[in-house]
Structure 1
Amino acid sequence: MKYFFYPIAIAALIFLIVIGVLVYVREKGSDTISGSSIPLVSVGEKAPEKTPEERIAEAKERSSHIKGLYMTADVANDQGAGATRLRDKIIQLAETTEINGIVIDVKEVCGPDYSPENLKKLIDELHQKNIWAIARIAVFKDASQIEVHPEWYLTRKAQIPVEDWCARKKYLQAKNPAGEKPSVYFWRDTKGGYWLDPASDGARHYIAELGKKMIDLGFDELQFDYIRFPSDGDTQNAIYPVWDKKTPRHEILKSFFEFLNASLKSHKPEIIMSADLFGYVATQREDLGIGQRLQDIGNYFDYTSFMVYPSHYYSGLVLPADPQDALPAVNLTAHEARAHPDTVVYRSLLAARNFLDGKTRMPDSRAERGTKIATSTQNIASTTSFAIASSTPVSGAKLRPWLEDFFHEQDKAAKRPYGAEKVRLQIDAAQKAEPHGWMLWNAANVYTEEALRKE
């Protein structure tokens, strides 16, 4: 019997020696085993929680190389066969190619459009597969609150006939409990869209609260679109309930950016925020009449996402010479812009990056710049150039552009780059300008897989 106890005694002795070593190491002030980065955590003891600073740093690092695809609210939430097939295909692309992020509509221009249960399930699946989840929120173009909060909206003196962009999604409109209908004529844009007053405190809090709900559902990033004043329609007849039309539009938006940043970052310090901007905003200092200025965006958003779709440069692209990078002037018509998608993407992003870094100064006026962005494509850009500026950065925001994966049949018929060639030209140009990722847009959620690198 005495031999039976020898193994037990030896095991007990080894156990006591190990415990003694661990205690000694702890008393010496070390929190790791010598020669290892493994922390000493007792059995049953939880690993220490990360500090807010650590979580912020981790989120910034993870978000800095996102290559994403757009997903509509219907595809994200509908459990039918068609939506499921498209949803699964997008996720499969994220598992097998360089794609590592998905931008999901949670609020379009007709209003918030999501099922909390279905959306949470999708977010959990994305996180299990290490896919970055981004919530896209259309901000000031919104039809959902007209019955319950008409005081937030642009109105007009007399009604005019316009189409109803949200006719098939009336169910997204909040209903007045008393059944009362607004006694005002709402101002509508050319597509029949309703617009919130960017200066309205009620409208601002409405957007911020929706953002907090998306944070609580688990999104890694919030992306804000239509974060501007309206651009289409008889804007001169729009009556704003709050904005006095004297305060510059860009000042109104800047105050909103500051409010939104403070509201959401206080709710979750590590949440990443991004803003979608017109592609033309990347190349000029003026606000284009919609309040968006490059110098106002960057201090309140982690990423700026210019929609540098070559097909959307309706007035072409006219840029002065770039002395910083020894690049010649650019003077492309709308047709030529679509024929040179890489030039449009690269030069637009490079102009924005150099300005934000303080390397070049955007001309102060359209006259100095040598072109009227919205109306002219004259060959006069070569007579001016971006001025070299001081090295003081204007903003530290990173650029992560939207690229187009659509209109391929039109481009093919016009003998322009199309399909995988067109998409890849844009991707490579975006990466060359700034290696912080990009996103592809296709409203039908069908993407050109051949353009994506396999992983």
Structure 2
Amino acid sequence: MDPRPVLLAVLTGALLTGAVQTGLAARPAAPLVQGLANGAVTTSAVFDQVSVTAHDPNAVRLLLDGKPLPVVREGNRLVLPKLRLPEGPHTLTARLGRLEAFPQSDVTRTFTVDDTPPQVSLAPVEATDLHEPVTVRGSASGAQRVNINGSEVNVDPDGAFSTTLPSPPGSIALSAVDEAGNVASTEVTVQAHHPGMRGVHMTALAWASPALREPVLQLARDGLIDTVELDIKDEDGEIGYDSQVPLAREIGAAKGYYDARAALDELHGMKIRVVGRLVAFRDPILARASWDSGHHDRLVQTADGQAWASGYGDYTFTNPANQEVRDYNTQLATEAAALGFDDILYDYVRRPEGSLDRMRLPGLQGTPEQAITEFLAQNRDAVHAHGAFLGASVFGIAITRPTQIAQDIPAMSHEVDYVAPMVYPSHWGAGEYGLDDPEAAPHDITARSLADFAKQARQGGAVTVPWLQAFSMHIPYGPAEIKAQIAAAHENGMDSFLLWNAACRYDPAALGG
């Protein structure tokens, strides 16, 4: 037998086998698809996160739903176009297309595009006692994760959820995310129902004086009042009790005129609520100390950078746009709420009177009205966390002239539990509400102005607790005039009121009968 044909066959087979092996060894490695898992649910912007790399990118073709996908090759990367894909199922294929004589090596990713966010809702949340837990209920259909005020909550398969917070915050913020990463959010204001009050104003020094304190305690014993408003920080910037807020101690504002713990225990022991009045931005102690220490931005200034001067003094008004000033007042409010004050009632929560063209509020973003509203928003959750309600005293004229002192009542009403308008008849000018002499018409001016306040405060869910005049200016004010104002408030659905007398002396006859 001639061995040559057999040898030739063996050599030919070896050569062919070697050629195939050489060809397979030269075959490019499969492309690497990153940022897209097989079976993923994602948004239409999916290609913004997807990357494809290959040893030889020129050997790779990309197909979307079977159709060629144009790409840009940068080094070993294939840059996908920034397409926005329609909702529904899709397939991305990375195909090695150079060696067509051999089986193709495809890398395939099937995925679904979903751009529809979860459907979310929150049930109204109401609180009657800020010391008690509150339950939040709602739904987030299609959500994978739900977050309430920064904390994740469990969601039922049908999207329903329920969670209990230790105390009622100022608002409830819901954020829901579905499998694709779509986000839906909503927010509701917690309607904190103030229990109402019939109260009188007391300064820190008045409370420290038995001659002034005892008649007020007798009003409480006789059932004529159920609330005492006691100053925390007054118009002079003095803090009535021995505050531990660091800045208050640094600038010498904590005076210790009365023992807050003893005052609260005594009044609460009599079932009397205690409202802490906190004068915010009229603060001569903080203003003077800040100016002298070089913290000029803490003050409202003139156009040329000097401290704003007004009828209240040269270094008087601090800057509501300054975060250090805001934080100082918020720390005082939180401290007082933690001590047990039932309400924190801000006063002088405004800018000074005067033309804005001649006034500077360093750091102001937006309008002065927005700065005031933001400040109140900063406080609501802080004081609610300690069981206290939040109120804001406002000028009577703010109801028709909100920009004059930066008190936008509808906006403020979203951030406080109640608005306390100072509708003193003596403070209205001739012709207001169609009255030639408002001071001589205590019932009519009070009734007409409070009707407007009730409408505007109601827009944000706040109630109205008016300050009423218990002092005399041009016309003597006695029990009849005070009772006329109380009646006018009642006619507007307001059984609550606070009486103001700077001398802290009140006639029982004005409150009886």
Q: TM-score, normalised by structure 2?
A: 0.57
1:441 corresponding residue in structure 2: 500
Match of 2:425 among 298, 310, 314: 310
Q: Does 1:137 align with 2:278?
A: yes
**Partners of 2:297 and 2:319 within 8 A in 1:** no
1:224 corresponding residue in structure 2: 346
Unaligned runs of 5+ in 2: 1-130, 136-165, 170-190, 243-257
**Partners of 1:399 and 1:434 within 8 A in 2:** no
Q: Does 1:120 align with 2:255?
A: no
**Partners of 1:343 and 1:429 within 8 A in 2:** yes
Match of 1:353 among 454, 463, 478: 454
Distance in 2 between the 1:275 and 1:92 partners? 28
1:316–1:122 distance in 2 versus 1, CA, 3 Å: farther
How much does 1:201 deviate? 0.9
Distance in 2 between the 1:200 and 1:65 partners? 33
Equivalent position amino acid for 2:196 in 1: H
Match of 1:152 among 298, 301, 314: 298
1:217–1:255 distance in 2 versus 1, CA, 3 Å: same
Equivalence map 1:142-291=2 (5 Å): 142-145=283-286, 146-148=288-290, 149-156=295-302, 185-192=306-313, 194-232=316-354, 236-243=357-364, 247-265=366-384, 267-268=385-386, 270-282=387-399, 284=400, 286-291=401-406
Q: Which has the larger radius of gyration?
A: 2
Distance in 1 between the 2:317 and 2:463 partners? 29
**Partners of 1:97 and 1:452 within 8 A in 2:** no
Q: Does 1:301 align with 2:416?
A: yes
1:450 corresponding residue in structure 2: 509
Q: Secondary structure at the match of 1:112?
A: coil
Match of 2:470 among 382, 395, 405: 405
2:149 corresponding residue in structure 1: none
Q: Secondary structure at the match of 1:186?
A: coil
2:220 corresponding residue in structure 1: 94
Equivalent position amino acid for 1:139 in 2: A
Q: Secondary structure at the match of 2:285?
A: coil
Distance in 2 between the 1:154 and 1:451 partners? 40
Distance in 2 between the 1:400 and 1:431 partners? 11
Q: Secondary structure at the match of 2:232?
A: strand
Equivalent position amino acid for 2:410 in 1: Q
Structure 1, residues 362-411: CA drift from partner, whole Å, max 9, x if none? xxxxxxxxxxxxxxxxxxxxxxxxxxxxxxxx221111100001116x42
Structure 1, residues 109-144: CA drift from partner, whole Å, max 9, x if none? 221322246121011100000001000011111112
Q: Does 1:339 align with 2:458?
A: no
Q: TM-score, normalised by structure 1?
A: 0.63
Distance in 2 between the 1:51 and 1:355 partners? 30
Match of 2:206 among 72, 75, 80: 75
Structure 1, residues 32-67: CA drift from partner, whole Å, max 9, x if none? xxxxxxxxxxxxxxxxx953569769x955x43200
Distance in 1 between the 2:456 and 2:317 partners? 31
Equivalent position amino acid for 1:240 in 2: L
The answer to which of 422-431 and 191-200 deviates more is: 191-200
**Coordinate RMSD, CA, aligned:** 2.5
**Partners of 2:376 and 2:415 within 8 A in 1:** yes
Which is richer in helix?
1
Structure 1, residues 249-302: CA drift from partner, whole Å, max 9, x if none? 22222222222223333x32x3101100111223x2x41422111211111111
**Partners of 1:399 and 1:436 within 8 A in 2:** no
How much does 1:206 deviate? 0.7
**Partners of 1:311 and 1:337 within 8 A in 2:** yes
**Partners of 2:300 and 2:308 within 8 A in 1:** yes
Identity of aligned residues (%): 25
How much does 1:349 deviate? 1.0
Which is richer in strand?
2
2:139 corresponding residue in structure 1: none
1:388 corresponding residue in structure 2: none
Spell out structure 1 runs of 4+ moving beyond 6 A.
none
Q: Does 1:51 align with 2:133?
A: yes
Equivalence map 1:98-109=2 (5 Å): 98-109=224-235
**Partners of 1:197 and 1:242 within 8 A in 2:** no
1:405–1:243 distance in 2 versus 1, CA, 3 Å: same
Equivalent position amino acid for 1:404 in 2: Q
Count of residues paired in the alignment = 311
Distance in 2 between the 1:355 and 1:51 partners? 30
